[in-house]
Structure 1
Amino acid sequence: MSGGTDRNLQDRQGASGTERQDGARDLRAFVRSRELELERRLAEWVRVPGILGDPEHSQDLLRSANWLAGEFREVGFPVAEVLPTGESHAVYAEWCQAPGAPTVLVYSHHDVRAVQPQNWALTAPFEPILREGRLYGRGSSDAKGQIMAHLEAVRAHLGTGTETSPDQAPGVNLKFLIEGEEEAGSPHLAKLLEDNPERFAADLVLFSDTLLWHAEHPAICVSLRGMLSAHLEVYGPERDVHSGAVSGNAPNPAFELGRLLGLMHDQDGRVAVPGFYDDVEPLPADLRNAFKDLPFSEEDWLARSETGAITGEKGYTVLERLWLRPAVEVTSIIAGDPLGISRAAVPAVASADLSFRTVPGQRLEKIAGQLQEWVAATIGDAYSFSLIPDLETAQEPYRTPDHPAVEALEKAMALGFNAERTGRMGNAGGGPGELLSRSLGAPVLFFGTGLLEDHWHDSDESASLDVLMNGAVTLACFWEELARKQGIGDDDDGHLRQ
Structure 2
Amino acid sequence: MSLPRITTAPDAALGQDALDELADWVRIASVSSDPDRADDVRRSAGWLVEALRRTGFPRAEVWETEGLPAVYACWPAADPGAPALLVYSHHDVHAVDPSEWQVTEPFSPLLREGRLHGRGTSDAKGQIMSHLWALRTHVAQRTAPAVTLKYLIEGEEEVGSVHLADLLSEHAGDLDADVVMVSDSMLWSLDEPTVCATVRGSVTASLTVRGAERDLHSGAVSGAAANAAVELCRLVDRLSDESGRVTLPGFYDAVAAPGPRLRVDVETLPFDLTDWQVETGTFDAPGEAGFTVPERLWTRPSAEVARLTAGRTDAPALGLIPAEASADLLFRLVPEQRADQVADQLRAWLAGHQRPGFAYDLEVSSTISDPYRTPPDHPALAALTRAVSHAYGAPARHIGNGGAAPGAQLARACDAPVLFFGTGLPGDRWHGPDERVEIQALCLGARALAHFLDELPTGGPPAGQKP
TM-score per shorter chain, which class? over 0.9
184-193 or 429-438, which deviates more: 184-193
Aligned to 2:11: 28
Aligned to 1:56: 36
Query: Given the alignment, which residue of 429, 436, 443 partners 2:403?
Result: 429
1:76-121 Cα shifts (integer Å, max 9, x gaps): 1100000012310000011003222221000000011111111111
Aligned to 2:71: 91
Backbone CA RMSD of aligned residues: 1.7
CA distance in 2, matches of 1:438, 1:67: 30
* Identical-pair percentage: 47
CA distance in 1, matches of 2:171, 2:344: 33
TM-score relative to the length of structure 1: 0.89
Shift of 1:343: 5.8
Query: Given the alignment, which residue of 388, 396, 409 partners 1:413?
Result: 388
User: Which letter maps to 2:394?
Assistant: E
Corresponding pairs, count:
458
Aligned to 2:374: 400
CA distance in 1, matches of 2:317, 2:109: 37
Q: Which runs of structure 2 are paired with 1:80-479 in the superposition (5 Å)? A: 80-98=60-78, 99-159=80-140, 161=141, 165=142, 168-342=143-317, 344-390=319-365, 392-401=366-375, 402-417=377-392, 419-479=393-453
1:378-423 Cα shifts (integer Å, max 9, x gaps): 1332211100111x21111000002111121112112222x22111
CA distance in 2, matches of 1:240, 1:280: 42
CA distance in 1, matches of 2:315, 2:427: 32
Q: Quick check: 1:51–1:113 contact (8 Å CA) kept in 2?
A: yes
User: Which letter maps to 1:209?
Assistant: D
CA distance in 2, matches of 1:186, 1:58: 15
3-state SS in 1 of match to 2:224:
coil
User: Which letter maps to 1:356?
Assistant: F
Shift of 1:344: 3.7
CA distance in 2, matches of 1:145, 1:341: 43
403-412 or 227-236, which deviates more: 403-412
3-state SS in 2 of match to 1:299:
helix
TM-score relative to the length of structure 2: 0.95
CA distance in 2, matches of 1:372, 1:227: 15
Q: Is the aligned partner of 1:490 residue 2:465? A: no
Query: Given the alignment, which residue of 23, 37, 40 partners 2:20?
Result: 40
CA distance in 2, matches of 1:48, 1:351: 34
Q: Quick check: 2:27–2:109 contact (8 Å CA) kept in 1?
A: yes
Q: Quick check: 1:27–1:157 contact (8 Å CA) kept in 2?
A: no
Q: Quick check: 2:83–2:462 contact (8 Å CA) kept in 1?
A: no
User: Which letter maps to 2:405?
Assistant: G
* 4+ aligned runs moved over 4 Å, structure 1: none
Unaligned runs of 5+ in 2: 1-7
User: Which letter maps to 2:43?
Assistant: R
Q: Quick check: 1:101–1:482 contact (8 Å CA) kept in 2?
A: no
3-state SS in 2 of match to 1:394:
coil
Shift of 1:26: 9.4
Q: Quick check: 2:249–2:345 contact (8 Å CA) kept in 1?
A: yes
CA distance in 2, matches of 1:339, 1:126: 29
User: Which letter maps to 1:196?
Assistant: H
Aligned to 2:4: none
3-state SS in 2 of match to 1:28:
coil
Shift of 1:437: 0.6
1:417-475 Cα shifts (integer Å, max 9, x gaps): 2x221111001110111010111011001110000000000000011111111111111
Shift of 1:236: 0.9
Q: Quick check: 2:338–2:371 contact (8 Å CA) kept in 1?
A: no
Q: Quick check: 1:93–1:177 contact (8 Å CA) kept in 2?
A: yes
3-state SS in 1 of match to 2:42:
helix
Shift of 1:63: 0.5
